[in-house]
């Protein structure tokens, strides 16, 4: 019996986990968007989003040819709004950026406008693009997330699939405003099952979240298969549901892969986003 064919735009249809030829001529068709709605429906999100935010990408492998055929190299950042109906699969973005390598462009401004147009079309929302050629000496500060690290807690853990029911708050204490950090976030790619590593930051106001329960919950993602953006939305939604904070912001800085790092941010409206300093592993 033949197997059912996944619908167009399903993760299984992406270039992940498949041999990929190197295309060095500009090819926007290489971008593979994936609908956010199915995974959000798993979280009970239908219609209006319970958060604001963005997916901040840093690209370290970007090059093209100037009108005389001389290579130009650059770094770039892309900000995909969380309101976009589609995320962009990371390997397809790498292949798309590679397609600039053998293509001539008049200048960096044209490249920036081209990438912005293509990513906006793929994601279904306006994507902000910043581009800096290396001759301008761009920098990105590496730093540790500001907050209280909870990873030194001496706890026993034996569950490695998401268990939001582990989360608890201390209702006997006064509300607090604090930022908690864990470098132990690990999940696996939804398609290939390969590991993704990240640092997660939780900034909230409300009844104190029990730190041991939070650490067990974060580590419980260890064998979970989901894209970076989806994991952060799951963490935000679970914390909102089980801990009921007055204010909440969650973001993660994932380790670079294929010349790209992804840094999703989800928060209550009005919560300021983090800066783009890099995690030590990026």
Give catalytic residue positions. Answer: 189, 196
Burial of 231 (0-12, 13-18, 19+ CB in 10 A): buried
Q: What are phi and psi of 34, to 5 degrees?
A: -125, 130
Closest by Cα among 126, 143, 120, 99 to 253:
143
Per DSSP, the three-state class of 104 is strand
| CA–CA separation, 167 and 242 (whole Å) | 6
Burial of 87 (0-12, 13-18, 19+ CB in 10 A): buried
What residue spans of 43-104 are helical by DSSP H?
90-98
Burial of 4 (0-12, 13-18, 19+ CB in 10 A): exposed
Q: What are phi and psi of 281, to 5 degrees?
A: -90, 0
In 85-175, DSSP assigns E strands to 86-88, 128-133, 148-149
């Amino acid at each position: 019996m033949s197997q059912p064919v996944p619908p167009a735009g399903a993760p299984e249809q992406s270039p992940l986990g498949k041999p990929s030829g190197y295309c060095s001529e500009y090819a926007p068709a290489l971008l593979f968007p994936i609908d956010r709605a199915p995974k959000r429906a798993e979280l009970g999100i239908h219609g209006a989003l319970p958060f604001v935010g963005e997916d901040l990408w840093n690209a370290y492998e970007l090059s093209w040819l100037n009108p005389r055929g001389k290579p130009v190299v650059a770094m770039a950042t892309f900000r995909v709004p969380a309101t976009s109906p589609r995320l962009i699969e990371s390997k397809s973005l790498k292949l798309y950026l590679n397609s600039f390598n053998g293509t001539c462009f008049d200048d960096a401004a044209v490249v920036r406008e081209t990438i912005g147009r293509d990513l906006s079309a793929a994601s279904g929302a306006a994507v902000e693009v910043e581009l800096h050629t290396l001759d301008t000496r761009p920098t990105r500060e590496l730093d540790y997330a500001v907050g209280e690290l909870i990873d030194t807690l001496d706890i026993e853990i034996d569950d490695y699939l998401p268990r939001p029911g582990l989360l608890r708050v201390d209702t006997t204490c006064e509300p607090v405003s604090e930022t908690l950090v864990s470098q132990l976030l690990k999940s696996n790619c939804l398609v290939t099952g390969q590991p993704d590593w990240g640092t997660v930051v939780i900034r909230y106001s409300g009844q104190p979240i029990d730190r041991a329960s939070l650490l067990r919950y974060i580590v419980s993602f260890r064998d979970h298969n989901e894209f970076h953006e989806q994991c952060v939305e799951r963490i935000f939604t679970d914390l909102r549901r089980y801990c009921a904070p007055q204010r909440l912001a969650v973001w993660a800085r994932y380790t670079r892969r294929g010349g790209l790092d992804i840094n999703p941010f989800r928060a209550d409206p009005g919560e300021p986003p983090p800066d783009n300093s890099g995690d030590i592993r990026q």
